[in-house]
Structure 1
Amino acid sequence: MDLGSIKPERTGLVIVDLQNDFLHPEGAYARGGQKNADISALPESVLPIAEELRQKGGWIVSTHFTLVPGKAGEPFISPHLKELRPFLTKGDFTPGGWGHALVDPLQPADLSVEKVAYSAFYMTRLEWVLKKAGIDTLIFCGIVTNGGVASTVRDAHVRDFKTIVLSDGCAAFSRDTHDQSMGDLGTVSTIMTCAEAQTLIEGL
């Protein structure tokens, strides 16, 4: 990718699923015993990039994993997810709820999109709002590297967005899984550290 062609006002930092129910000590995953130091550290790592991009006129785009409530508020949960995360229950990842929201340090987002699968492009308005905003370059951070991040990056790639993935701005529940996924994503995206991306944005 030609880094010299990047324009800050056409660039979006895509924050994949850094939500209270995933990260906060009182969120759904902490309640289920699913804590991870690498994931917990992400907001602090990503914040300087978000602040710099805001100052340069860029966009903050937040994707939100969502459990859509059905009758009596009981969520629709895919069988594979229910097997992996049996602790998920009514009220978790509910649209408009506290647990569904972007973590406080990274707020506010300019654009927010609910998603129901790994990719934030699947059955969502993400591509539409990105095009309306004039965004052609996406810098990715968030969780999990091998799931929501990887799927969304690949879908962005086939839609001809220029993409950058922050190697230390993403995390998975396993460091080995994260490292392997970063290697795979290097075939379709430019890989940078948070420090390298901040330097890039500062120079735009």
Structure 2
Amino acid sequence: MTGLQSKGGTALVLVDVQKAFLEWEAAGMRRNNPQAVDNIARLLAAFRREGMAVFHIRHASREAGSALRPEKPGYEPIDQARERGGEAVIVKHVNSSFIGTDLETRLRALGIETVVICGITTNHCVETTTRMAGNLGFDARLVSDACYTFDRTGHNGRHETAEDIHAMTLSNLDGEFATIETTDSLLAALDTGVAA
């Protein structure tokens, strides 16, 4: 990876790490990256230890029947990624964490130049947030093993695996919208303050 900006100029953005996705999995939906939530927790612990900015993004669906509606248990954060006092929680209603929220304003006010992005799901809200971060001029770092997605049926009826969807999403983002990282590369950079 290239070097981080200063630690004070770097923030962690956790996108939609919410219990609805555990419900999907329990209902039989198949996902990739089984270690993703543990890696999110590792990143969160490191940012907290360094006193760096953390932003928790919550998706509050307006769709009838969605598990992500605010009154549903699925809206709640996954326990390993629950916010602590003083950490920002930003509620969104669409895929991008920047649309209809004050995320950009808050990042600019703190002098944040680098955003480290992880969460659920890779090809929906994580991807949309990452694309916008890059377009807005932030140094976006997407952590490949700290996000995941699910198998799905494509527009042509073909079965698409979570692994293939995840990999293609990373390929689409890499170099144009973001730098693709791993949890270990990010943690090494935080430990040294320079490139891993």
Same fold (TM over 0.5): yes
Task: State the percentage of identical aligned residues.
Answer: 25
Note if 1:167 corresponds to 2:144.
yes
2:173 corresponds in structure 1 to 185
Instruction: Map 1:18-57 onto structure 2 (within 5 A).
Output: 18-23=17-22, 27=23, 29-30=24-25, 33=27, 35-38=29-32, 41-57=35-51
2:154 corresponds in structure 1 to none
Cα distance, 1:133 vs. partner?
A: 2.8
1:123 corresponds in structure 2 to 100
Secondary structure of residue in 1 paired with 2:74: coil
Partners of 1:12 and 1:139 within 8 A in 2? yes
The count of residues paired between Structure 1 and Structure 2 equals: 179
Cα distance, 1:36 vs. partner?
A: 3.5
Partners of 1:62 and 1:102 within 8 A in 2? no
Cα distance, 1:176 vs. partner?
A: 0.3
Partners of 1:39 and 1:143 within 8 A in 2? no
Cα distance, 1:115 vs. partner?
A: 1.2
Provide the rounded CA distance (Å) in 1 between the counterparts of 2:82 and 2:122: 21
| CA deviation map 1:9-42 (0-9, x unaligned) | 221111111111222xxx4x357x2534436532
Partners of 2:56 and 2:83 within 8 A in 1? no
Instruction: Choose which of 60, 72, 77 in structure 2 pairs with 1:102.
Output: 77
Note if 1:15 corresponds to 2:14.
yes
Secondary structure of residue in 2 paired with 1:3: coil
CA separation of 1:12 and 1:97: change in aligned 2, threshold 3 A: farther
1:194 corresponds in structure 2 to 183
Q: Name the stretch that deviates more: 94-103 or 13-22.
A: 94-103
Provide the rounded CA distance (Å) in 2 between the counterparts of 1:44 and 1:65: 21
Note if 1:3 corresponds to 2:3.
yes
> Per residue, is there more helix in 1 or in 2?
1
Cα distance, 1:141 vs. partner?
A: 0.7
Provide the rounded CA distance (Å) in 2 between the counterparts of 1:127 and 1:112: 13
Matched AA of 2:3 = L
Matched AA of 1:57 = G
Partners of 2:135 and 2:177 within 8 A in 1? no
Provide the rounded CA distance (Å) in 2 between the counterparts of 1:126 and 1:40: 29
Matched AA of 2:191 = E
Gaps of 5+ in 1: 68-75, 83-87
Provide the rounded CA distance (Å) in 2 between the counterparts of 1:107 and 1:50: 10
